């Protein structure tokens, strides 16, 4: 179905990336020297020179405080509302709040204003084509900004911080994106809809994994004769076809038919669509076609003007990563992997952790030797360590990589043996030779540990001290949670670990026991496989520290967890409903003298109304 060129047209640019993978075969139809890049936005733009930052600061301060702007929704003139909308839209698109905390909150408040304003018919009925594109593009960029903000912060955050701005922003952005999609499906913007707007909207939906909604939006457009041509443009197909394949809406042959029908009368194929078809081919196991697409993209790169090469390189990079993460032929995947870590490429590829994660899983699926898996992990750690990249982004990549590796490791070595123990020590030693052992690494090892041997587990814990690891509350929680799987720990030892965790909280200026710590204690005791030996002890600790919750909301959140757990509620509710409950545990729970931790709330008073109706 793909148009193939004679092999003699492929002799111009055959870089080393294709050598040793296959011979000189024919490939997909080339794009010409002038590629139609349509109205492709630079998705994650750097606008440091787009607008003076002082002006932007002043504008956002005004946007968040000026009652005139806040009252824009109720302005009596349609023109005034539209002008406000356009002013906010232009300014918001000029700002990158990623590394400016003072702008971050105001930036998302402005997006919220825009979302509310576009729901007003006085704005919605009069926006221009460019307005809708800018709005869709802003939403798409904002999803990335918000996700990056979340990942770039400390991964040792408490889960009970109520003002979870990134979560609130996600909810708002999802609502705004779906609202825009609904308006498009209903035909509200039919007269001004174009492919660039539709594309960035689909990309925004893709970031939130709204795959069924994407397919519904696309199919509704394809079936509308007035706008179907827009939905079948190559830039749109490049976004939607992988989703339809992955969601099993179309099989591989059907995807090829859609591609052929919509490219047969065009002189060139868009580079993004070439990359998309290559990725789908690889996932379908059609590696020859995937290589064809890669070679064609390399020719597009060679033939196009320098100004366009950055966009072509992005498609090349994504296709290259697909060979690493989706190719089940590990020899081919390794070839592409090695080209990245060795830097032996005519284009730059950022080795993304999810693709390596998929590679490791593929190795397990096809029964590759453990040493092959170890090679990919070790090489990736070394590659990341050599990169001059933002530390916070690297931390998230290490976390994904190491979690995947140790998940695989303990599946391959499900039991403690001399061989498995030696291999685990080898892995830790390898990591230590590449970069310093840190909390992220040790937390990941312990979280995935499945041998349930107390001696080895305590040896792992000793690594925090051996390597002088700076610890956060998370490490104490991880340890306590994992103790729930190990029968050899008695209640006295669990209490000692609990006290260590509280001492660290106190030294870290916490005034309350976070929900995450209560969850760790719960998993170590009453929710563990050894509930019979640990339940009464848990209740005794809960009774002693019940008023150390953060506030009434934390108490309600804690109690709510138990309401639908009929096997536990009878016992847990005793702490709330009985005046002086007595528990069948010989452990003496003594509250030490804290510097910061304190009683903050009357737990019984707050939770009694929740438990009383449920008590049987």
pLDDT > 70? residue 259: yes
Question: Which range among 18-22, 293-297, 406-410, 610-614 shows the weakest confidence by mean pLDDT?
Answer: 18-22
197 touches 129 (CB < 8 A): yes
Percent share of the chain, pLDDT over 70 = 82
Mention every residue, 6+ apart, whose C-beta is less than 8 A from residue 602.
547
Query: Hey, what are 398's tokens?
Result: 């290490």
**Domain termination site, one of 232, 254, 273:** 232
Q: Higher confidence at residue 152 or residue 526?
A: 526
Domain of 371 in residue numbering reads as 364-459
The rounded distance, in Å, linking the Cα atoms of 300 and 309 is 9
Same domain, 422 and 529: no
Percent share of the chain, pLDDT over 90 = 73
Same domain, 476 and 568: yes
Inside any domain, residue 41: no
Same domain, 514 and 437: no
| β-sheet bridge partners, residue 545 | none
pLDDT > 60? residue 171: yes
Residue identified by tokens 């079948």 is 232
Same domain, 133 and 227: yes
pLDDT > 60? residue 41: no
Inside any domain, residue 324: no
Same domain, 589 and 485: yes
Same domain, 442 and 570: no
Please give the backbone phi and psi of residue 28, each rounded to the nearest 5 degrees, phi first: -65, 160
The rounded distance, in Å, linking the Cα atoms of 538 and 523 is 10
Mention every residue, 6+ apart, whose C-beta is less than 8 A from residue 8.
none
Question: Which range among 93-107, 368-382, 466-480, 589-603 shows the weakest confidence by mean pLDDT?
Answer: 93-107
- At 336, the pLDDT band (50, 70, 90 cuts) reads very high
Please give the backbone phi and psi of residue 4, each rounded to the nearest 5 degrees, phi first: -110, 145
The rounded distance, in Å, linking the Cα atoms of 609 and 60 is 44
The rounded distance, in Å, linking the Cα atoms of 95 and 63 is 14
What's the average model confidence in pLDDT over 150-174? 67
**pLDDT for residue 268:** 87
Mention every residue, 6+ apart, whose C-beta is less than 8 A from residue 578.
none
Same domain, 448 and 477: no
**pLDDT for residue 230:** 98
327 touches 376 (CB < 8 A): no
**pLDDT for residue 61:** 54
Q: Higher confidence at residue 154 or residue 285?
A: 285
pLDDT > 90? residue 8: no
Same domain, 486 and 599: yes
Question: Which range among 38-42, 298-302, 371-375, 535-539 shows the weakest confidence by mean pLDDT?
Answer: 38-42
- At 506, the pLDDT band (50, 70, 90 cuts) reads very high
Question: Which range among 151-165, 185-199, 227-241, 575-589 shows the weakest confidence by mean pLDDT?
Answer: 151-165
Query: Hey, what are 531's tokens?
Result: 């509930």
List C-alpha distances in Å: 256 to 1, 286, 287, 293, 379. 7, 12, 14, 13, 36
Mention every residue, 6+ apart, whose C-beta is less than 8 A from residue 343.
none
Which candidate, 443, 428, 501, 505, places its Cα nearest to that of 475? 443
Mention every residue, 6+ apart, whose C-beta is less than 8 A from residue 158.
473, 514, 515, 516
What's the average model confidence in pLDDT over 184-188? 96
Which candidate, 601, 613, 536, places its Cα nearest to that of 575? 536
Inside any domain, residue 71: yes
549 touches 603 (CB < 8 A): yes
The rounded distance, in Å, linking the Cα atoms of 38 and 405 is 41
Question: Which range among 104-108, 367-371, 460-464 shows the weakest confidence by mean pLDDT?
Answer: 104-108
Report, in angstroms and rounded to the nearest whole number, the Rg of the chain calculated over CA atoms.
29
List C-alpha distances in Å: 520 to 301, 526, 616. 53, 10, 27
Same domain, 436 and 564: no
Q: What is the pLDDT of the chain when averaged over all its residues?
A: 87
Same domain, 439 and 525: no
**pLDDT for residue 44:** 29
Residue-wise pLDDT tens digits, 544-576: 999 999 999 999 999 999 998 999 999 999 999
Query: Hey, what are 354's tokens?
Result: 């999810």
Which candidate, 48, 36, 83, places its Cα nearest to that of 196? 36
**Domain termination site, one of 232, 262, 290:** 232
581 touches 543 (CB < 8 A): yes
The rounded distance, in Å, linking the Cα atoms of 267 and 261 is 13
- At 173, the pLDDT band (50, 70, 90 cuts) reads very high
Q: Higher confidence at residue 586 or residue 74?
A: 586
Same domain, 528 and 379: no
pLDDT > 50? residue 39: no
Alpha carbon 458 to its chain's center: 32
3-state class (DSSP) for residue 28: strand
Residue identified by tokens 């990563």 is 321
Inside any domain, residue 107: yes
**pLDDT for residue 25:** 35
Query: Hey, what are 417's tokens?
Result: 């043996």
pLDDT > 80? residue 207: yes
Question: Which range among 299-303, 304-308, 442-446 shows the weakest confidence by mean pLDDT?
Answer: 304-308
Q: DSSP label at 612?
A: G
Q: Based on the structure, what is the number of domains in the chain?
A: 3
Residue-wise pLDDT tens digits, 267-301: 889 999 999 999 999 999 999 999 999 999 999 88
**pLDDT for residue 267:** 87
- At 19, the pLDDT band (50, 70, 90 cuts) reads very low
Same domain, 371 and 485: no
Inside any domain, residue 44: no
Q: Following DSSP, what letter does each residue of 528-588 receive, concatenated?
A: STTHHHHHHHHHHHHHHHGGGSSSHHHHHHHHHHHHT-HHHHHHHTHHHH-SS---S----
- At 51, the pLDDT band (50, 70, 90 cuts) reads very low
- At 309, the pLDDT band (50, 70, 90 cuts) reads confident
Query: Hey, what are 107's tokens?
Result: 């930036």
**Domain termination site, one of 408, 432, 459:** 459
Inside any domain, residue 357: no
Inside any domain, residue 20: no
Question: Which range among 313-322, 343-352, 383-392, 550-559 shows the weakest confidence by mean pLDDT?
Answer: 383-392
Please give the backbone phi and psi of residue 510, each rounded to the nearest 5 degrees, phi first: -75, 140
Inside any domain, residue 378: yes
């Amino acid at each position: 179905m793909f148009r193939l060129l004679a092999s003699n047209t492929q002799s111009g640019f055959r870089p080393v990336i294709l050598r040793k993978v296959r011979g000189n075969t024919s490939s997909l139809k080339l794009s010409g020297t002038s590629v139609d890049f349509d109205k492709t936005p630079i998705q994650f733009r750097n606008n440091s020179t787009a607008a003076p930052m002082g002006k932007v600061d002043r504008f956002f301060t005004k946007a968040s405080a000026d009652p005139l702007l806040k009252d824009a929704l109720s302005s009596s003139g349609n023109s005034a509302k539209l002008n406000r909308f356009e002013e906010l839209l232009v300014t918001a698109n000029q700002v990158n709040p990623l590394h400016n905390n003072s702008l971050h909150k105001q930036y998302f408040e402005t997006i919220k204003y825009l979302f509310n304003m576009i729901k007003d018919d006085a704005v919605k009925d009069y926006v221009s084509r460019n307005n809708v594109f800018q709005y869709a593009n802003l939403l798409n960029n904002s999803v990335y900004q918000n996700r990056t903000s979340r990942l770039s912060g400390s991964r040792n955050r408490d889960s009970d911080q109520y003002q979870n701005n990134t979560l609130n922003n996600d909810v708002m952005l999802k609502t705004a994106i779906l609202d825009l999609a609904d308006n498009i499906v209903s035909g509200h913007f039919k007269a001004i809809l174009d492919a660039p707007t539709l594309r960035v909207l689909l990309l925004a939906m893709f970031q939130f994994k709204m795959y069924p909604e994407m397919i519904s939006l696309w199919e509704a457009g394809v079936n509308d004769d007035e706008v179907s041509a827009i939905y079948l443009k190559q830039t749109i197909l490049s976004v939607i076809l992988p989703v339809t394949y992955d969601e099993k809406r179309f099989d591989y042959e059907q995807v090829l038919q859609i591609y052929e029908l919509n490219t047969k009368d065009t002189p060139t194929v868009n580079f993004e669509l070439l990359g998309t078809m290559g990725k789908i081919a690889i996932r379908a196991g059609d590696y020859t076609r995937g290589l064809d697409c890669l070679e064609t993209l390399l020719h597009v790169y060679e033939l196009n003007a320098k100004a366009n090469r950055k966009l072509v390189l992005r498609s090349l990079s994504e296709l290259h990563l697909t060979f690493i993460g989706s190719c089940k032929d590990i020899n081919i995947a390794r070839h592409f992997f090695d080209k990245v870590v060795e830097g032996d490429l005519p284009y730059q590829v950022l080795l993304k952790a999810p693709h390596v994660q998929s590679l490791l899983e593929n190795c397990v699926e096809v029964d590759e030797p453990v040493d092959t898996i170890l090679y990919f992990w070790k090489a990736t750690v070394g590659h990341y360590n050599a990169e001059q990249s933002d530390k916070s982004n690297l931390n998230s990549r290490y976390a994904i990589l190491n979690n995947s590796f140790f998940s695989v490791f303990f599946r391959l070595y499900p039991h403690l043996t001399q061989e498995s123990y030696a291999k685990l020590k080898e892995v830790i030693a390898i990591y230590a030779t590449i970069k310093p052992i840190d909390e992220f690494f040790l937390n990941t090892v312990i979280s995935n540990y499945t041998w349930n041997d107390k001696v080895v587990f305590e040896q792992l814990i000793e690594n925090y001290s051996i390597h002088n690891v700076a610890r956060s509350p998370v490490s104490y929680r991880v340890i306590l949670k994992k103790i729930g799987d190990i029968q050899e720990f008695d209640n006295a030892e669990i209490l000692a670990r609990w006290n260590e965790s509280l001492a660290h909280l106190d030294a870290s200026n916490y005034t309350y026991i976070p929900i995450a710590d209560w969850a760790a204690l719960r998993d170590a005791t009453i929710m563990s496989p050894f509930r019979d030996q640990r339940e009464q002890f848990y209740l005794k600790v809960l009774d002693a520290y019940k008023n150390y919750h953060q506030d009434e909301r934390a108490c309600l959140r804690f109690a709510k967890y138990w309401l639908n757990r009929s096997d536990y509620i009878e016992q847990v509710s005793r702490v709330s409903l009985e005046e002086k409950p007595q528990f069948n545990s010989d452990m003496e729970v003594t509250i030490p003298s804290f510097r910061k931790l304190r009683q903050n709330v009357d737990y019984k008073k707050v939770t009694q109304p929740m438990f009383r109706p449920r008590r049987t």
